[in-house]
Chain A
Amino acid sequence: MEPARKVYLQPTPVRIWHWLNAFGIVTLIVTGAQIRFPEYIQLFSGYKSAILLHNTAGLVVAVSFSLWFFYYGVVARNMLKIYVPSKDDLRFGIGRQAKFYLLTYFLGWPNPHHPTPENKFNPMQKSAYLAIMFVLMPLIALTGILLTNVSPLRELVILIGGLKILVAAHFLLACCLCAFLFTHVYLATLGRTPLAYIKPMWTGWEEEEPDRHSHPAA
Chain B
Amino acid sequence: MCIHREPAFLPILLFLTFVIPAVAIAGNADCLVCHADADAVGETFRIDHLTFDTTAHAALGCRECHTSVTTDHPGDGIAPSKADCRGCHEAISAEYARSTHQANADCRDCHNPHVARGPAAVSGADMNRQCESCHGRLDTTLRHAEWLPQTDLHMAMLPCISCHTASEENVITLYIIRRSDTLLGDGQRLATYPELKELAEGKSISSLIDRNEDDYISLTELRMFNSDPENRMLRLQGMITPEAVTHDFRTLDNRWDCSFCHASGPGARQTSYVSLAREDGSYLRIAAEKGAVLDALYGTPDFYMVGATRSKVLDVIGMVIIAGGMVMPVGHGTLRFLTRKNREHKEEE
* Chain A residues within 8 Å of B, Cβ to Cβ: 35-40, 46-48, 51-52, 55, 101, 105-110, 148, 150-159, 161-165, 167-168, 171-172, 174-176, 178-183, 185-187, 190, 192
B339: chain A residues within 8 A (beta carbon): 106-108
Count of A-B contacts judged by CB separation below 8 Å: 150
Task: Identify 18 new A-B residue pairs, CB closer than 8 A, beyond the known A46-B257, A178-B322.
Answer: A37-B307, A38-B307, A40-B265, A51-B149, A55-B149, A105-B336, A108-B339, A148-B150, A155-B180, A155-B183, A161-B301, A163-B301, A167-B310, A179-B323, A179-B326, A180-B325, A181-B325, A190-B336
**Cβ-defined contact, A151 with B153, below 8 A:** yes
**Cβ-defined contact, A47 with B314, below 8 A:** no
A148: chain B residues within 8 A (beta carbon): 150
Stretch at the interface among B99-107, B204-212, B341-349: B341-349
When C-beta atoms are compared, the residue in chain B nearest to A178 turns out to be B322
**Residue B133 CB within 8 A of the other chain:** no
Q: What separation, in Å, do the CA atoms of A178 and B185 have in the docked complex?
A: 34
**Residue B303 CB within 8 A of the other chain:** yes
**Cβ-defined contact, B302 with A162, below 8 A:** yes
**Residue B297 CB within 8 A of the other chain:** yes
A39: chain B residues within 8 A (beta carbon): 263-265, 307
Stretch at the interface among B25-33, B115-123, B279-287, B327-335: B327-335
**Cβ-defined contact, B342 with A36, below 8 A:** no
From the candidates B152, B180, B297, B303, name the one contacting A165 in the complex (CB within 8 A): B297
CB of A109, distance to nearest CB on chain B (Å): 7
Asked, given contacts A108-B342, A165-B297, A168-B296, whether A155 binds B179 with beta carbons under 8 Å apart, the answer is: yes
When C-beta atoms are compared, the residue in chain B nearest to A150 turns out to be B153
CB of A155, distance to nearest CB on chain B (Å): 5
Q: What separation, in Å, do the CA atoms of A175 and B320 have in the docked complex?
A: 9
CB of A81, distance to nearest CB on chain B (Å): 27
B152: chain A residues within 8 A (beta carbon): 151-152
From the candidates B263, B301, B310, name the one contacting A162 in the complex (CB within 8 A): B301
**Residue B44 CB within 8 A of the other chain:** no
**Residue B49 CB within 8 A of the other chain:** no
A108: chain B residues within 8 A (beta carbon): 339, 342-343, 345-346
Mask: chain B, 210-241; 1 = CB below 8 Å from A; 0 = not:
00000000000000001000000001000000
**Residue B60 CB within 8 A of the other chain:** no
Q: What separation, in Å, do the CA atoms of A108 and B150 have in the docked complex?
A: 55
**Residue B84 CB within 8 A of the other chain:** no
**Cβ-defined contact, B311 with A168, below 8 A:** yes
CB of A25, distance to nearest CB on chain B (Å): 13
**Cβ-defined contact, B347 with A192, below 8 A:** yes
**Cβ-defined contact, A182 with B326, below 8 A:** yes
B307: chain A residues within 8 A (beta carbon): 35-39, 47
Q: What separation, in Å, do the CA atoms of A165 and B345 have in the docked complex?
A: 53
From the candidates A38, A48, A186, name the one contacting B329 in the complex (CB within 8 A): A186
Q: What separation, in Å, do the CA atoms of A190 and B335 have in the docked complex?
A: 12
Q: What separation, in Å, do the CA atoms of A157 and B235 have in the docked complex?
A: 12
**Residue B193 CB within 8 A of the other chain:** no
B342: chain A residues within 8 A (beta carbon): 106-108
When C-beta atoms are compared, the residue in chain A nearest to B325 turns out to be A179
A150: chain B residues within 8 A (beta carbon): 150, 153
**Cβ-defined contact, A163 with B262, below 8 A:** no
From the candidates B186, B235, B319, B329, name the one contacting A183 in the complex (CB within 8 A): B329
A110: chain B residues within 8 A (beta carbon): 346
Q: What separation, in Å, do the CA atoms of A51 and B226 have in the docked complex?
A: 30
A172: chain B residues within 8 A (beta carbon): 314, 317-318, 321
Q: What separation, in Å, do the CA atoms of A154 and B177 have in the docked complex?
A: 12
CB of B324, distance to nearest CB on chain A (Å): 5
**Residue B56 CB within 8 A of the other chain:** no
CB of A15, distance to nearest CB on chain B (Å): 24
**Residue B184 CB within 8 A of the other chain:** yes
From the candidates A40, A55, A153, A163, name the one contacting B304 in the complex (CB within 8 A): A163
B301: chain A residues within 8 A (beta carbon): 161-165
Q: What separation, in Å, do the CA atoms of A39 and B308 have in the docked complex?
A: 9
B182: chain A residues within 8 A (beta carbon): 155
Q: What separation, in Å, do the CA atoms of A156 and B185 have in the docked complex?
A: 10
Q: What separation, in Å, do the CA atoms of A163 and B310 have in the docked complex?
A: 11
**Cβ-defined contact, B304 with A164, below 8 A:** yes
CB of A145, distance to nearest CB on chain B (Å): 13
A183: chain B residues within 8 A (beta carbon): 325, 328-329
Q: List 7 A-B contacts (CB under 8 A).
A: A37-B265, A38-B259, A40-B265, A164-B298, A168-B314, A175-B318, A185-B329
**Residue B92 CB within 8 A of the other chain:** no
B226: chain A residues within 8 A (beta carbon): 162
Q: What separation, in Å, do the CA atoms of A110 and B332 have in the docked complex?
A: 16
B295: chain A residues within 8 A (beta carbon): 164
From the candidates B183, B314, B343, name the one contacting A171 in the complex (CB within 8 A): B314
